[in-house]
Structure 1
Amino acid sequence: MPIFGKTKFSTVNYDKTTPTAAMPSLEDSENPQEGFTKCRSCESPILIEELVANSSICPKCDYHFPLRAMDRINSLMTDFEEIDANMQSVNFLGFTGYDKTLTSKQMTLDTKDAVICGFGKIKGQKTGIVVMDFKFMGGSLGSVVGEKITRLVEAATEKRLPVIIVTASGGARMQEGCVSLMQMAKTSGALARLSNNDLPMICLLTNPTYGGVTASYASLGDIIISEPNALIGFAGARVIETTIKAELPENFQTAEFLVDHGLVDRIVHREQLQDELALILDYVSGKCK
């Protein structure tokens, strides 16, 4: 049960007119000229070296490029210790091509699945953290992702520590059928026990967050924050428009739209996230002792 009401307060100034339809990763927008990439929000060429030094934020339009899970953790935490690092999915349904996809992603991305979980410190304050990796099969929620999140939350409950969940996902993993959908209930149950023990969960929504992830733990944070212009929803906008046969509001499914409608508490610029999370942890620390 949330301990804070949803407000319309934002910690940063942001431009609601910034285009949000195209949200590329660094790899998706590489320029043929070596050493450069192109921002698909403003289409400006950017030195990759400059982009990395700028926290993967476009220096021209402030567009936030997606971050890999470990890059995100390194930008927020110190003394990080991963748990369940070697847990990996199996093709228990015999879904055609799933084995090959898993092996390919594991080799090219040097990670076992779409989430990294563990414990670390944010400005000296210990916390559990879950970070999803959209590069691994769209950050899809499967049996291993759900199990790792559940184990992290249960361990945090035992240690009496808060939990931070960073989402980036297209939803449930279709190759695992109903088992993937059951992860929504399993993770939600673990978070309910965390809440029953008066321990807070902070959710950071990044672009994109959709489907079963939005319908479960992404919406269960006591405090829900987002990066600017992140796309957040259940079904995609085009699917909704086709279904209801009506035009959707401007900026529909953006973080800014959700702040205005009370579903997100704050929008926080990437370079301010560590300070913001440390402030929140300090504020709720009385419930974590």
Structure 2
Amino acid sequence: MDDIIVIDNLVKKFGDKLAVDHLDLTIHEGEVFGFLGPNGAGKTTTVRCIATLTDFDSGTITVGGHDLRQDPIRAKENMGVIQQQVSLDKDLTIRENMVSHAMYHMMKKREREAKISELSDFFGLEEYLDRPVESLSGGWKKRAAIVCAMLHDPRILFLDEPTSGLDINARRLLWDVVRRLNSNGTTIVLTTHYIEEAEALCDRVGIIDHGRIIALDTPENLCLSVGSVAVEYMGGERTEYRYFRSRDEANAFASSIEGDVEVTIRKTNLEDVFVELTGKSVEGHR
């Protein structure tokens, strides 16, 4: 499998704070790759560096075979970006925002009209196209921003906390879009702190903390690294967690717990992996 993104020794600082700490990473063409970590871990900063939204201090990034420092324009042609904060032009209608974005990518009129119609229909945006941006709720603005990012059929789509602020139906709709785009060959780079999102969508996940990738594998293999079955029980004043390779081992341990203690046996998830590696929850609390 070819590598569409290659990051070598990436460093990004904000004043004295080291946000990305000598990070090395390759992302394969055609995969859904997820950065998982708490707020402040460096996942958004890393994606902003790759997507040319912020400069970096040292290291190299190659996107689609183009070095970001030497050939940023050609690199950008491969990208579509959906940021945490909606970046639509408030003085334009939704349709005008879409047309403006399509023209930026030099799409011909017939092509852009067909694409706007197709994606607007998929996202249920048809009745909102000629409304001002400010008249829409946050969820509808996010849907419009997603359409703008997808119009030029980018080889790589960056999704930075894309479902933050969306209701459950809109979130699941976006998941379907991600799967459809990926099935057509689009490489997806996703940042999230939603465990279920990473598990549902990602071929590989990089767990990031303090600007470093501390674990990298498929969601299944990451869970297996700590044990496939988790046992939760109240130990003193806090919930304790133990992990086992099999349900039989988990059941045996649960049976050995003394006293009137509520015990839950379940599959291990990526949050368990993160807590075991960092001592923090995905929300960033110890």
User: Normalised by the shorter chain, which TM-score bucket?
Assistant: 0.3 to 0.5
Q: TM-score, normalised by structure 2?
A: 0.33
Which protein is richer in strand relative to its size?
Answer: 2
From the CA coordinates, give the structure whose radius of gyration is larger. Answer: 2
Tell me: higher relative CO, structure 1 or 2? Use CA pairs within 8 A at least 6 residues apart. Answer: 2
Q: TM-score, normalised by structure 1?
A: 0.33
